[in-house]
Amino acid sequence: GTRLIEDKLCEIFGIGRTRIRQVLQRLAHEQVVTLMPNRGAIVSQPTVQEARDIFEARGVLEAGIVARFIQRATRADVRRIREHLAREKLAWRDNDRRTMLKLSGDFHLIIAEIAGNATMTRLLRELVSRSSLIIAVYQQPGASSCPPDEHQALCTALERGDTAAIELMQAHLRHVLEDLNLVEHRDDGIDLKAVFADVA
């Protein structure tokens, strides 16, 4: 529900209004931002039902992605995932929440890219983007999403080509959803500069 003021975003990121509007349009297409006629943009407010729907959709989609991964992955592909996992663990060690959230989403997208179905990857990219917003809104204070030990277990199963990885992925997504505090709420008075400073 936070209002995204174009002038502030231009100042934070050091880019022009035209580029900011392009980015806001893209985020609106991904349903992460809502564009309001004559009022500008606000961060979308996913409902509890939307949160459940998104994670249910991910469970179905990622089961298929993991099955394809098992059929297609090479040793180099598994090495790529292991290297990514090392970066995730580093972010966890440093308690870098923003990086943790981004890398945990990227973990799922890398598996999709390796699985080799461009349509599935595009759909998952949108769902991961919306999931990240859901996690940011509904995560309980002090809780962490997508623990790297669950990604580690998935990686081990994927490396062995074990079809148990399909159920591990679905259980992992259920666990992330169950750890959220799914109660409708909104935060007012967010400091955009504090939120985006590191990104800029």
* Integer Cα distance of 178 and 11 in angstroms: 38
**Has domain 3-45+185-196 been given CATH number 1.10.10.10?**
yes
- The CATH T-level fold of domain 48-178 is Four Helix Bundle (Hemerythrin (Met), subunit A) (1.20.120)
Cα–Cα distance, 164 to 116 (Å, whole number): 20
Q: What is the mean pLDDT of each run of 10 residues along the chain (200 residues)?
A: 91 94 91 89 93 97 98 96 94 88 93 98 95 88 72 94 96 94 68 55
pLDDT value for 90 = 93
Full-model pTM? 0.84
Backbone CA torsion sign across 80, 59, 27, 1 = negative
* pLDDT confidence of residue 191: 60
Domain range summary for the chain, segments of one domain joined by +: 3-45+185-196, 48-178
pLDDT score for 200 = 47
Looking at residue 130, its pLDDT comes to 93
Show the DSSP H helices in the chain as ranges: 6-13, 17-29, 48-72, 75-93, 97-115, 118-138, 148-160, 164-178, 192-196
